[in-house]
Amino acid sequence: MTEQTKETDILDQDDIFLRNAFKNFRERISKNKFWISGYVVFVLIAAHFWLSKQPSFYKATVTILTDPTMLEDAEEKKSLTNLALQEALMRSPEVVDRVIDENDLKNTPLFPKDKNPREVFSELVETELDQGSKSIRVGFYYTDPETAASIANNLAETYIETRAARNSEQSVQAIEKLKEQIKEKSEKLGAIKNRLATLSRENPELEDEAILEEQLKSLNAQIVQTDVRSRSLEATLSEIEALEQRGEALDSHPYIRNNPMIVEKTKAIRDLEWQVLELQQEYREKHPLVLRAQTKLDILRQSHDEEKLRIVEMLRDEIRVLELSKKKLQENVQELQIKKKEPTPPKLEYRRLQDEEASIVSTIQLLNAQISEASVQASLKKTGIEILNYATPPVRPEKPNKPKVMLLVFIASFFSAAGFLFLLSYLDRTFRSSEDVEDITRKPFLGQVPAIRTVKDGFNPKFADQKEEVFFHNHLRLICANINFVASDNEKKTIMVTGSQPGEGKSFIAYHLAHTFAREGKAAVIIDADFCRSALSSVFPSAGGNRPGLNQFLMEDAAMEQILEETSQPNLYLIRSLEAKFSAPHALRSDRMKNLLNELKNYFDVIVVDAPPVLAVNDAVALGEVVDFRVLVVEWGKTLKDEVVRALSKIASGNLTVSGIILNKTKFSTNSYYYGNREAKKSKPFLK
């Protein structure tokens, strides 16, 4: 099987699983529609009760219009154009505290003592910005419509008054004071400049000194940066070399682990390791697909290790380049320092005056900025804001919106119930219908056996009434008829009955299939080939004595006549086995086993072999090579689909095929109990 074919099969299986999940989901919806309706009604009643306990809030809305054209200052226009900033100013503590105090809101039930009044007020305020009309609609929620309108209007008026007050806060005296400081600093700056000019005329070399000083500062800054980078890389290299000496992985260091190439190759290795693990679970260790994937993984790992070594070498190269650069910069600094003469008193004074000049210039710039801001605030005489529409008392409450809430609750409750059922359907990886069996296994569906209570032996049914007994035997006869139809070319046949895992009821099915064939007048023999459990041998009463079983026959310690035993059921014979602690696949596929089955065909019409589970031991695989038909028993609602697929791939290897699937312990509705199994009517395995 090529990789492309394998991937196509996996996609087909996933598509089948999803399709069956939707089918089971529709069935669950149909079966649980009354439960869903009750759940939705209960949630709606609870929501209605909760809504009836909630207070009704009325929303009063006031509209504020902003007009930046009324302002002259560009910055103020920009600020007023930013409606989000205006909204923040409206919600500022200064405005909010004033509105709360003026309306005495702290003493109302909506403002509890244990909460911050500002936070409560912000929850009751709702703003809507309209950039097109340059307006702000402010809504306020309150339990009384008159109070809601009054507070909304008061909030808008307080915001406008606060903004107007801010525009006139800076006084003329403060501006004059700032101007006096600038005048003082300017005079001092002029004296410093005159002194610098005098020093420059008296000492021409001072200008060259200033240039050298700037170059030295620049070179020293570069040396520091290069040194810091070099030390950091050297520390990193030391840590990596220490890891290498201790024999630890280089990619445990963040410098290598976070490298883009290492990250990419690490991800590719993990993906390939996961692919190899999946192939090893599905195929043999020496399978070509496994070997090819393992070789690709080894090559990728080798490339990963080489990439780590290359990164370390690049790190060393970068350190060497930084050292050379640092050395070159140091040489340049030494050359400049040689040019620089010993400091003289004029040079020291010149440097001091330069520093003082820069400080004074910075101070004057700051003072000028403060004067400009104060002048703008003092010159503004209009706010550019006005109330377009005052709030009026609302007629109907705004929230809670009961119709909308009830609609959302209805939608949420319905989809939550449906989602829960879909989750159950999607996570259900078991078989629940004949369609599941045929779609997943692509094998003929022979029939299904209903779940039935049994006596202590676990094999003989305990029927509640006669109808249940008839219903049970009808399904067994239908399975036998399907087997006869599939095996129409073989008048006498050997049938192996097995399962995927223990506990699926394969011995129960084998026991009752043999009895059903015997009741139909066919000579049947049932062989207990499950050496590890030997459940069938314990069901049939022993005639006494130490009668040999299949174990002794395969070990050539007994003949066929010695192990063949007649049962109380007419036309039914038994070959027991003694329970063992080990399996014997080599004995079950031996020539002696083949000869036994061929010899039994001379005397019996049907030979039913109860084999161990496929995934537990390899006995069923060995028996599958010597029988005519292989039947796999699947437990309804318990056996996982993946287990069945693995069992089929194991038992039907090579040219062998599984003749059919039997669904055991199925649960039927009342209609199917009285009128027959609808699943069996819809299933047509013989046409496949």
Residue 306 has a CB neighbour count (10 Å cut-off) of 11
What is the tens place of the pLDDT at every residue in 238-287? Answer: 888 888 888 788 778 888 888 888 888 888 888 888 888 888 888 877 78
Q: What angle do CA 470, 476, 481 make, to 5 degrees?
A: 120
Q: Inform me whether the pLDDT recorded for 607 exceeds 90.
A: yes
Distance CA 362, CA 365 (A): 5
Residues 475, 621, single domain; the answer is: yes
What is the tens place of the pLDDT at every residue in 649-658? Answer: 887 765 566 6
**Does residue 366 lie within any of the structural domains?**
no
Residues 553, 414, single domain; the answer is: no
Q: Which value, to the nearest 10 degrees, does the dihedral of the CA atoms of residues 293, 294, 296, 302 take?
A: 160
Paired with 387 in beta bridges are 64
> Residue 587 belongs to what H/E stretch?
helix 585-588
Q: Are 139 and 122 in contact (CB under 8 A)?
A: no
Q: What percentage of the chain exceeds 90 in pLDDT?
A: 11
Distance CA 442, CA 632 (A): 13
pLDDT for residue 170? 43
The candidate with the shortest Cα–Cα distance to 145, out of 61, 63, 64, is: 61
In the structure encoding, which two tokens stand for residue 243, read together?
């890891």
CATH number of 477's domain: 3.40.50.300
What is the tens place of the pLDDT at every residue in 367-390? Answer: 888 777 666 555 544 667 888 888
- Enter the DSSP assignment of 611: P
**Does residue 191 lie within any of the structural domains?**
no
pLDDT for residue 286? 78
Residues 483, 353, single domain; the answer is: no
3-state secondary structure 138-187: EEEEECCHHHHHHHHHHHHHHHHHHHHHHHCCCCHHHHHHHHHHHHHHHH
Distance CA 630, CA 650 (A): 12
Sign of the C-alpha dihedral computed for residues 332, 334, 337 and 339 taken in this order: negative
195-200, Cβ contacts within 8 angstroms, sequence gap of 24 or more: 195/353, 196/350, 196/353, 196/354, 196/357, 199/346, 199/349, 199/350, 199/353, 200/350
Instruction: Please tell me whether the overall predicted TM-score, pTM, comes out greater than 0.85 for this model.
Output: no
In angstroms, the Cα distances linking 263 to 254, 259, 322, 463 are: 11, 6, 26, 65
Q: Are 384 and 66 in contact (CB under 8 A)?
A: yes
Distance CA 382, CA 70 (A): 7
**Does residue 42 lie within any of the structural domains?**
yes
**Does residue 368 lie within any of the structural domains?**
no
pLDDT for residue 1? 45
Q: Are 474 and 676 in contact (CB under 8 A)?
A: yes
CATH number of 115's domain: 3.30.70
Residues 408, 477, single domain; the answer is: no
Q: Inform me whether the pLDDT recorded for 668 exceeds 80.
A: no
- Enter the DSSP assignment of 601: T
Residues 223, 346, single domain; the answer is: yes
Residues 151, 244, single domain; the answer is: no
Distance CA 70, CA 458 (A): 96
Q: Are 610 and 497 in contact (CB under 8 A)?
A: yes
Residues 71, 49, single domain; the answer is: no
In angstroms, the Cα distances linking 498 to 166, 474, 617, 623, 638 are: 91, 22, 11, 10, 16
> Residue 112, exposed/middle/buried by CB under 10 A (0-12, 13-18, 19+)?
exposed
Q: What percentage of the chain exceeds 70 in pLDDT?
A: 85
Q: Are 353 and 197 in contact (CB under 8 A)?
A: no
**Does residue 353 lie within any of the structural domains?**
yes
**Does residue 604 lie within any of the structural domains?**
yes
pLDDT band, very low/low/confident/very high, at 596 (cuts 50, 70, 90): very high
**Does residue 186 lie within any of the structural domains?**
no
Distance CA 294, CA 285 (A): 10
Residues 315, 342, single domain; the answer is: yes
Residues 495, 643, single domain; the answer is: yes
Q: Prior bond to 394 cis, omega within 30?
A: no
Q: How far is CA 200 from the centre of its chain?
A: 74
Q: Are 148 and 391 in contact (CB under 8 A)?
A: yes
pLDDT for residue 680? 39
Distance CA 590, CA 141 (A): 89
> Residue 182, exposed/middle/buried by CB under 10 A (0-12, 13-18, 19+)?
middle
- The single residue listed with the structure tokens 């507070």 is 151
- Number of structural domains the chain divides into: 4
Residue 465 DSSP SS3: coil
The torsion angles phi and psi of 102, rounded to 5 degrees, stand at: -65, -30
Question: 580 vs 152, which has greater pLDDT?
Answer: 152
Beta strands 58-66 and 385-389, pairing class:
antiparallel
In angstroms, the Cα distances linking 290 to 2, 577, 615, 654 are: 12, 39, 21, 19
Residues 17, 83, single domain; the answer is: no
Q: What is the domain extent for residue 36?
A: 3-54+400-427
In the structure encoding, which two tokens stand for residue 412, read together?
């949420």
What is the tens place of the pLDDT at every residue in 125-151? Answer: 988 888 888 889 999 988 888 888 899
pLDDT band, very low/low/confident/very high, at 683 (cuts 50, 70, 90): very low
Q: Inform me whether the pLDDT recorded for 63 exceeds 70.
A: yes
- The single residue listed with the structure tokens 């990596």 is 240
> What number of CA atoms fall less than 13 Å from residue 268's CA on the CB side?
16
Sheet holding 606-610, edge to edge: 445-450, 660-666, 629-635, 493-499, 606-610, 524-528, 572-575, 564-566
- The single residue listed with the structure tokens 């599984």 is 658
What is the tens place of the pLDDT at every residue in 80-133? Answer: 888 888 888 888 888 888 888 888 888 888 888 888 888 888 888 988 888 888
Residues 62, 50, single domain; the answer is: no
- The single residue listed with the structure tokens 């302002």 is 71
Q: Can you point out the beta strands (E) in 474-571?
A: 493-499, 524-528, 564-566
**Does residue 188 lie within any of the structural domains?**
no
pLDDT for residue 378? 55
pLDDT for residue 518? 93
pLDDT for residue 686? 35
Residues 470, 349, single domain; the answer is: no
Q: Are 679 and 434 in contact (CB under 8 A)?
A: yes
